[in-house]
Amino acid sequence: MITITYFVHGTTTDNEQHISTGWAHGELSRVGIEQAKALGIQTQDMHFDVVFCSDLTRAIHSAHLALSSHYTIIQDRRLREANYGDLNQHYERDFNPDPYWCITNRFPHGESYKDVEERMSDFLDHLKINFENKHVAIVAHKVPQLALDVLLKHKTWEQAIDEDWRREKQWQPGWIYTFQDAQHHDTRI
């Protein structure tokens, strides 16, 4: 069995301006820096065997502020946010109003959510091969987390989008997923 504790990066300056950063690096806002520091305190009694983060600056900065005093952080580009292509760092209002459009349709010069699901499936295969019976921490982004809901909780993309905590602005310090082959379990911390 593998346990994943998934953390989203702290609030960014783009988040505060309702801009979708995508594959641009983005930077943590003052609030995001404080969230990442608080995460370090909230997780100080937890033990991880390995810590991964996206290779985008906002996730790297969050991971280092929260966890680098006790762990080596491994960057992995498979954990990146969705590539919004021509819409990276554009206002959310510029996106297609249909929240399900991007599940199978690629953003212009970018990816679909199904593409992110494929990246995350590859990452989970990597964990299965290399980290059996380990507790893995991940610091990453919105769409990779939704992909975990699809892959490990067997939600449809529509369900994952509809039930996304971000719709209600209900941020929390992390989500725990466990899986072994087709079995899975999810709890919130």
pLDDT digits (tens, 9 = 90+) for 103-120: 999 999 999 999 999 999
Task: Provide the domain count of the chain.
Answer: 1
Considering the entire predicted model, what is its pTM? 0.92
* Across 38-57, average pLDDT: 96
CB 88 within 8 A of CB 98: no
Structure confidence at residue 56 (pLDDT): 98
Pairing of strands 50-53, 2-8: unpaired
CATH number at residue 49: 3.40.50.1240
What is the spatial order of strands in the sheet that 73-75 belongs to?
73-75, 50-53, 135-140, 2-8, 175-180, 183-188
Tokens coding 171: 């941020």
Range of the structural domain that residue 12 is part of: 2-188
Mean pLDDT along residues 44-52: 96
Q: State pLDDT tens for residues 76-105.
A: 999 999 999 999 999 999 999 999 999 999
Find the mean pLDDT for residues 121-145. 97
